[in-house]
Amino acid sequence: MNDANRPAPARHDPVTTEIVRNGLIAATEEMKQNLMRTAYNMIIYEALDFTVGLFDRDGNVLSIGIGLPMFIRGISETIKAKIRHFGLENIHPGDVLLTNDAYITGSHLNHMTFSVPIFHEGALIGFAGCMAHWQDIGGTLDGMTMDIYSEGLQMPIVKAWRSGVVNQDILDVIAMNVRLPERAMGDLKAQIASIRTGERHMLELAQKHGREELLASIDAIMDHSEALVRERVRAIPDGVYEAESFMDDDGVEAGKRIPIRVKVTVADDHMTIDLTDISKQVKGFYNSGMTAGLSCCQVAFKCLTSALDYPLNDGSFRPLTIILPTGRVVSAEKPAPMRWWMTFPMTIVDTVFKAMAPAMPDKVIAGHHADLVIASVNGYHPRDGRLFIYVGGLIGGGWGAKLTEDGVSGVIAINDGDTHNGPSEQVEVKFPLIVEEYALREDSGGPGQFRGGLGTVQRVRATGDFMFNAQIERVNCRPWGLDGGLSGAGNQVTIQRAGGEEAFFPSGKVLAEALHPGDRYVLRSGGGGGFGSPLDRDPAAVERDVIQGIVSRDMAAACYGVVFDEDTAAVDPAASDALRARLRAEGRPDDDDGLTDDGRRAQDAAARADAIRSQAGHGHAHHHGHQHFRHAHVRPEDDYELRLQLALARRCC
Amino acid sequence: MTVQSSRSSDNPQPTAIRLAADVGGTFTDIAAFDAATGEIRYGKTLTTPDTLVAGVVDGVAKAGVGFAGTGIFLHGTTVAINTLLERTGARTALLITRGFRDIYEIGRVNRPDAYNLYFQKHQPLIDRALRLEIDERLDAAGNVLVPLDEAQVRHIARALADMGIEAIAILFLHSYRNPEHEIRAREIVADACPGVFVSASHELSQEYREFERASTVAANAYIGPGVASYLDGFNQRLGEDGFPGTFLIMQSTGGVYGVTEAQRECIRMLESGPAGGLIGAKVLCRRMDLADAIAFDMGGTTAKAGVISGGEVLMTGASMIGGYMTGLPVQIPMIDIQEVGTGGGSIARLGPGGALRVGPQSAGAKPGPVCYQLGGTEPTVTDANLVLGRLAADRFLGGEMALDTAGAERALKERIADPLGLTVAAAAEGILRIATTAMAHVVRRVTTDRGLDAADFALIAYGGAGPLHAAMVAKELRIPRVVIPHSPGHFSAFGMLAADFRRDYVRTWFTRLATAPFDELERRYLEMEAEGRASIETGRPHLLDVVVTRSADMRYVGQEHAVTVDLPLTLFEGRDTAGVKAAFDAIHEVRYGYGAPDEQAEIVSLRSSVIGQMRKPPPEPLAGGTATPPAAAGRGARPVCFDAGIGHVPTATFARADLLAGNVVAGPALIEEYASTTVVFPGDVLTVDETGNLVINIQRA
- Contact (Cβ atoms closer than 8 angstroms) between residue B649 and residue B667: no
pLDDT at A597: 64
Please report the DSSP string for B51-62 in residue order. Answer: -HHHHHHHHHHH
In angstroms, the CA B25 to CA B82 distance is 9
Contact flag A17-B211 (C-beta cutoff 8 Å)? no
Contact flag A224-B353 (C-beta cutoff 8 Å)? yes
Sorted by sequence, the CB contacts under 8 Å of residue A140 that are 6+ apart come out as: A150, A151
* For A221, nearest residue in chain B (alpha carbons): B355
Compute the average pLDDT of residues A619-634.
41
Report helix, strand or coil for B258.
strand
| A429 touches B: beta carbon within 8 Å | yes
3-state secondary structure B324-345: CCCCEEECCCEECCEEECCCCC
Task: Name chain B contacts of A410, Cβ cutoff 8 Å.
Answer: 102, 105-107, 109, 121
Strand partners, B138: B144
pLDDT at A599: 64
Q: What is the pLDDT of residues B535-560, one digit of tens each?
A: 998 888 888 899 999 999 999 887 77
Q: Would residue A68 count as lying in a domain? A: yes
Radius of gyration of chain A (CA): 26
Task: Name chain A contacts of B102, Cβ cutoff 8 Å.
Answer: 410, 438-440, 456
Contact flag B98-A186 (C-beta cutoff 8 Å)? no
pLDDT at A513: 93
Phi-psi region of A155 (alpha: psi -120 to 50; beta: other; left: phi over 0): beta
- Residue B338 sits at φ, ψ, to 5 deg, of -100, 150
Which residue from B105, B115, B441 is facing A69, i.e. has the nearest CB? B115
CA dist B597 to A261, B511, B551, B581, Å? 54, 18, 19, 8
Report helix, strand or coil for B83.
helix
Contact flag A642-B176 (C-beta cutoff 8 Å)? no
Amino acid at A104: I
Task: Name chain B contacts of A435, Cβ cutoff 8 Å.
Answer: 99
In angstroms, the CA B218 to CA B168 distance is 8
Angle (CA) A564-A566-A567 rounded to 5° is 120
Query: Euclidean distance between the first and final Cα of chain B, in Å?
Result: 37
Which residue from A302, A429, A650 is facing B208, i.e. has the nearest CB? A429
Residue A157 has pLDDT above 60, yes or no: yes
| A547 touches B: beta carbon within 8 Å | yes
Least Cα distance to A115 among A88, A151, A78, A150 occurs for: A78
Contact flag A418-B449 (C-beta cutoff 8 Å)? no
Least confident of A224-233, A383-392, B99-108, B169-178: A383-392
Contact flag A652-B449 (C-beta cutoff 8 Å)? no
The topology under which CATH files domain B272-342+437-497 is Nucleotidyltransferase; domain 5 (3.30.420)
The count of domains in chain A is 1
- Please state whether beta strands A123-133 and A61-64 pair in parallel, antiparallel, or not at all (unpaired): unpaired
Sorted by sequence, the CB contacts under 8 Å of residue A67 that are 6+ apart come out as: A32, A48, A50, A51, A52, A417, A418, A419, B114
pLDDT at B356: 93
Task: Give the number of other Cβ atoms within 10 Å of residue A114's Cβ.
Answer: 24
pLDDT at B620: 87
Q: What is the pLDDT of residues A80-102, one digit of tens each?
A: 999 999 999 999 999 999 999 99
Task: Name chain A contacts of B357, Cβ cutoff 8 Å.
Answer: 18
**Comma-separated ranges of CATH 3.30.420.40 domains in chain B:** 17-83+229-266, 272-342+437-497
* CA of A578 vs chain B CAs: smallest distance (Å): 29
CA dihedral A527, A532, A536, A540 (to 10 degrees): -40
From chain A residues 210-229, the ones with a CB under 8 A of any chain B CB are: 220-221, 223-224, 226-228
- Please state whether beta strands B501-512 and A387-393 pair in parallel, antiparallel, or not at all (unpaired): unpaired
| A386 touches B: beta carbon within 8 Å | no
Contact flag A429-B117 (C-beta cutoff 8 Å)? no
Residue A9 has pLDDT above 50, yes or no: no
Task: Name chain B contacts of A220, Cβ cutoff 8 Å.
Answer: 353, 355
Instruction: Please tell me the pTM assigned to this model.
Output: 0.92
Q: Would residue A30 count as lying in a domain? A: yes
Prior bond to B367 cis, omega within 30? yes
* CA of B328 vs chain A CAs: smallest distance (Å): 15
* CA of A562 vs chain B CAs: smallest distance (Å): 20
Residue A469 has pLDDT above 70, yes or no: yes
Q: Which long-range contacts (CB under 8 A, 24 or more apart) does B385-389 make?
A: B385/B344, B385/B428, B385/B432, B385/B468, B387/B412, B387/B424, B387/B425, B387/B428, B387/B641, B388/B425, B388/B428, B388/B429, B388/B432, B388/B640, B388/B641, B388/B642, B388/B648, B389/B638, B389/B639, B389/B640, B389/B641, B389/B648, B389/B651
- Contact (Cβ atoms closer than 8 angstroms) between residue B288 and residue B691: no
- Contact (Cβ atoms closer than 8 angstroms) between residue B330 and residue B216: yes
Q: How far is CA B515 from the centre of its chain?
A: 38
In angstroms, the CA B690 to CA B670 distance is 20
Amino acid at A548: Q
In angstroms, the CA A450 to CA A545 distance is 12
* CA of B668 vs chain A CAs: smallest distance (Å): 23
Buried b (16+ CB within 10 A) or exposed e, A446-455: bbbbbbbbbb
In angstroms, the CA A505 to CA A525 distance is 14
Q: Would residue A114 count as lying in a domain? A: yes
In angstroms, the CA A228 to CA A223 distance is 9
The topology under which CATH files domain B17-83+229-266 is Nucleotidyltransferase; domain 5 (3.30.420)
Cβ-Cβ contacts under 8 Å between A and B: the total is 263
pLDDT at A42: 64
Contact flag A417-B114 (C-beta cutoff 8 Å)? yes
* CA of B209 vs chain A CAs: smallest distance (Å): 5
| A356 touches B: beta carbon within 8 Å | no
Q: What is the pLDDT of residues A42-93, one digit of tens each?
A: 667 666 788 999 999 999 999 998 778 888 999 999 999 999 999 999 999 9
Instruction: Output the average pLDDT for chain A.
Output: 89
Please report the DSSP string for A221-276 in residue order. Answer: HHHHHHHHHHHHHHTSPPEEEEEEEEES--SSSTT--EEEEEEEEEETTEEEEE-T
CA dist B127 to A438, B95, B323, Å? 17, 12, 21
In angstroms, the CA B548 to CA B525 distance is 10
DSSP label at A564?
Answer: B
- Contact (Cβ atoms closer than 8 angstroms) between residue B45 and residue B27: yes
Sorted by sequence, the CB contacts under 8 Å of residue A327 that are 6+ apart come out as: A280, A281, A333
| A567 touches B: beta carbon within 8 Å | no
Sorted by sequence, the CB contacts under 8 Å of residue A609 that are 6+ apart come out as: none
Compute the average pLDDT of residues A98-127.
96
In angstroms, the CA A94 to CA B424 distance is 45
- Contact (Cβ atoms closer than 8 angstroms) between residue A288 and residue A341: yes
Least Cα distance to B452 among B310, B287, B295, B254 occurs for: B310
Least confident of A260-269, A543-552, A619-628, B111-120: A619-628
Q: What is the pLDDT of residues B367-414, one digit of tens each?
A: 889 999 999 999 999 999 999 999 999 887 777 789 999 999 999 999
Here the ipTM equals 0.91
In angstroms, the CA B292 to CA A31 distance is 25
Radius of gyration of chain B (CA): 26
Least confident of A142-146, A166-170, A440-444, B197-201: A142-146
The residue that leads in pLDDT, B128 or A599, is B128
* For B437, nearest residue in chain A (alpha carbons): A19
Strand partners, A244: A261
Domain interval for residue A161:
14-228
Contact flag B560-A42 (C-beta cutoff 8 Å)? yes
* CA of A456 vs chain B CAs: smallest distance (Å): 8
- Contact (Cβ atoms closer than 8 angstroms) between residue A509 and residue A339: no
At B512, which helix (H) or strand (E)?
strand B501-512
Test mutation, A37, A316, A614, A644, chain B, max B CBs within 10 A: A37
Test mutation, B87, B111, B121, B222, chain A, max A CBs within 10 A: B111
pLDDT at A365: 98
Contact flag A428-B356 (C-beta cutoff 8 Å)? no
Which residue from B127, B145, B352 is facing A231, i.e. has the nearest CB? B352
| A623 touches B: beta carbon within 8 Å | no
* For B510, nearest residue in chain A (alpha carbons): A429
CA dist A429 to A631, B47, B210, B602, Å? 28, 48, 13, 14
In angstroms, the CA B673 to CA A634 distance is 72
Contact flag B111-A416 (C-beta cutoff 8 Å)? yes
Test mutation, A645, A648, A651, A652, chain B, max B CBs within 10 A: A645
pLDDT at A652: 62
Indicate the pLDDT class of residue A151, thresholds 50, 70 and 90.
very high
Q: Where are the beta strands (DSSP E) in B219-277?
A: 246-250, 256-258
In angstroms, the CA A528 to CA B106 distance is 15
Task: Name chain A contacts of B149, Cβ cutoff 8 Å.
Answer: 632, 636
In angstroms, the CA B56 to CA B79 distance is 13
In angstroms, the CA A630 to CA A638 distance is 11
Angle (CA) B406-B409-B414 rounded to 5° is 125
In angstroms, the CA B374 to CA B366 distance is 7
Q: Would residue A245 count as lying in a domain? A: no
* CA of A590 vs chain B CAs: smallest distance (Å): 25
Indicate the pLDDT class of residue A623, thresholds 50, 70 and 90.
very low
Contact flag B208-A426 (C-beta cutoff 8 Å)? yes
Sorted by sequence, the CB contacts under 8 Å of residue B293 that are 6+ apart come out as: B281, B284, B285, B307, B308, B457, B458, B459, B460, B483
| A550 touches B: beta carbon within 8 Å | yes
- Contact (Cβ atoms closer than 8 angstroms) between residue A341 and residue A103: no
Please give the average pLDDT of every successive group of 10 residues along chain B, which has 701 residues.
38 68 85 88 82 86 89 93 93 97 97 94 96 97 97 96 96 96 98 96 95 98 96 93 93 95 96 93 96 93 93 92 92 93 92 86 85 94 97 83 94 96 96 95 85 90 94 95 94 94 93 87 93 88 90 86 87 86 90 80 94 90 95 95 96 96 97 92 97 94 64
Least confident of A374-383, A491-500, A595-604: A595-604
pLDDT at A596: 66
